[in-house]
Structure 1
Amino acid sequence: MPLREHLSELRRRIVLAALGVVAGATVGWFLYDRVFAALQEPLLSVAEERGSIVSVNFAGLITAVDMKFKVAFFIGVVLSSPWWLYQLWAFITPGLTRKERRYAYSFVAAALPLFWAGAAFAALVLPNAVRVLTEFTPEGATNLIDAQTYLSFVMRFILAFAVAFVLPVIMVALTFAGVVRARAWARGWRWAVLTAFVFSAVMTPTPDVLSMFVLAMPICVLYFVALGICVLHDRRVDRQRDAAGLPRLDGSWPSEPDPEVAA
């Protein structure tokens, strides 16, 4: 596909994904009160445990309205995740055949629960992070946390882990589409593990190492599961092309040494 058509397809998919997020945000506008109460719950729990004042503070005149828009957008991203995840896969493989459409549905079916699992996992860790960070408040002092700072942190925290859990599915999607071979993922496993731990260290604002490991290990496990699926897929495709007398996806023939192994 020419570059101009690629850009046109990218623009179309972005517009469709954005419309889905806007539709979800419209629903999120009416769910704001419930979601805000859930996001604020870790702070209220800490305040109740310690018998101190720990609460969210709206400092500016338009802060409350601004946060309602942001939280509604956050809800829209979560609610419309099936739609924009499909748009992502549809852009990777434009002009889908009937078989590729089944792959697209499988991609969304696998990515969606992982996206929600990542968000749920972050939500489980969040109360501990809030508890540790508020422990530095001197006894008898009042901790009024800026609403913009707190809610933005919570939403980024949840979305970051939701997206991180989807990345292994994107690995499999790119391999099934023939864009990236499994050997390329295998060669970069050390960097993938390092990235997972660095990401977890940055996204867990608690000083203990255990939280970092608890968050990094599921990402590493998902990476290696995805790598195994990619390896099995490439082997199956290579056997089929060998039987048909066609060159493999990397351009080699069965009798030739693997260029990537030789390198």
Structure 2
Amino acid sequence: MTDSHKPEDELAGTEQPFVSHLIELRDRLVKASLAVLVVFGLLAFYPGPAALYDLLAAPLVAQLPKGTTLIATNVISPFLVPLKITLLAAFLVALPIVLYQVWAFVAPGLYSHEKRLVLPLVFSSTLLFMVGVAFCYFFVFGQVFKFIQSFAPKSITASPDIEAYLSFVMSMFIAFGAAFEVPVVVVVLARMGLVSVEKLRDFRQYFIVLAFVIAAVITPPDVVSQLALAIPMCILYELGLFAASYFIRYSKAPDSSEGTS
């Protein structure tokens, strides 16, 4: 009789913690979603989806011939595309709240020295991603569109489609936002002990080649955008090497001897 109840005894008490974790995860997801929806409502009210798309299209429109505008080849594109832009902007604005909910969910399972590492990484990764998006919008777009328009024949009137432009902008934003996460990747690799800082320094020359290869693959086939992505990646790699040494010391676990004394 006792053997028949043994498996039940071994699992006793495990169901409730699992359910409580699921409930907490649901609550965190709801709070993150509500934050995005609230910001979406505010942006939809002011400045509005149409104004947000005009702002997004400004770098391209500035390089088009005077009087030329973007076109919509799909019937519902003038309605859906601005809404997508508003939702994207709402997610970016609410990103700190979303990441805080992720942090609040995983923090109880971390050691104190691990918590000292995670919170700065969450903040820095958010900041670097937004800096990458801003760098792409304010600098890269203007130079790329100017370069492309300089090669357009006089017999062609460029009138890009709004959906195609949104797809291009999204891919460029993701590419530059992810590329600016290089310091975070370097710090995590070094802190987890997967690669030492010394080996990462030795890998520097290979990373430079890798950065230009990545830039050539994920950016348009023009020199301006490729250099605009590859050069910051190389600079950020050096920044990551410097930050890795600091974070390893900052988040180092306390010695057992110190804890017992």
Q: Greater Rg, structure 1 or structure 2? A: 2
What residue identity is the alignment partner of 1:183? S
Q: CA deviation at 1:39?
A: 1.6
Q: After superposition, where does 1:62-141 map in structure 2 within 5 Å?
A: 62-87=76-101, 89=103, 95-96=109-110, 100-123=114-137, 124-141=139-156
What residue identity is the alignment partner of 2:179? A
**How many angstroms apart in 1 are the aligned matches of 2:244 and 2:23?**
26
Identical aligned residues as a percent: 28
Does the 8 A contact of 1:56 with 1:144 survive in 2?
yes
Seen in structure 2, the aligned counterparts of structure 1 residues 84 and 240 have a Cα distance that, compared at 3 Å, is same
Q: Residue 154 of structure 2 aligns to a residue in which SS?
A: coil
Q: CA deviation at 1:188?
A: 6.1
Higher deviation after alignment, 22-31 or 10-19 = 10-19
**How many angstroms apart in 1 are the aligned matches of 2:152 and 2:174?**
27
Seen in structure 2, the aligned counterparts of structure 1 residues 180 and 26 have a Cα distance that, compared at 3 Å, is farther
Question: Does residue 159 of structure 1 match 2:158?
Answer: no
Question: Does residue 214 of structure 1 match 2:239?
Answer: no
What residue identity is the alignment partner of 2:97? W
Task: Provide the aligned C-alpha RMSD in A.
Answer: 3.9
**How many angstroms apart in 1 are the aligned matches of 2:37 and 2:83?**
11
2:162 aligned residue (123, 127, 147): 147
Higher relative contact order (CA 8 A, sep 6+): 2
Which residues of structure 2 form unaligned runs of 5+? 1-13
Question: Does residue 39 of structure 1 match 2:79?
Answer: no
Seen in structure 2, the aligned counterparts of structure 1 residues 95 and 138 have a Cα distance that, compared at 3 Å, is same
- For residues 28-74 of structure 1, give each alpha carbon's deviation from its aligned partner in whole angstroms, at most 9, with x where no partner exists: 33332332122221232123xx44x5321112221112102210121
What residue identity is the alignment partner of 1:231? S
What residue identity is the alignment partner of 1:118? G
| Alignment-derived partner of residue 197 in structure 1 | 212
Q: After superposition, where does 1:16-55 map in structure 2 within 5 Å?
A: 17-30=32-45, 31=47, 32-47=49-64, 50-51=65-66, 53-55=67-69
Seen in structure 2, the aligned counterparts of structure 1 residues 239 and 64 have a Cα distance that, compared at 3 Å, is closer
Does the 8 A contact of 1:197 with 1:212 survive in 2?
yes
Q: Residue 153 of structure 2 aligns to a residue in which SS?
A: coil
Q: Residue 160 of structure 2 aligns to a residue in which SS?
A: strand
Does the 8 A contact of 1:54 with 1:145 survive in 2?
no
**How many angstroms apart in 2 are the aligned matches of 1:105 and 1:239?**
16
What residue identity is the alignment partner of 1:41? A
**How many angstroms apart in 2 are the aligned matches of 1:147 and 1:116?**
23
Which residues of structure 1 form unaligned runs of 5+? 246-263
Higher deviation after alignment, 160-169 or 62-71 = 160-169
Seen in structure 2, the aligned counterparts of structure 1 residues 235 and 44 have a Cα distance that, compared at 3 Å, is closer
The alignment of Structure 1 onto Structure 2 pairs a total of residues equal to 237
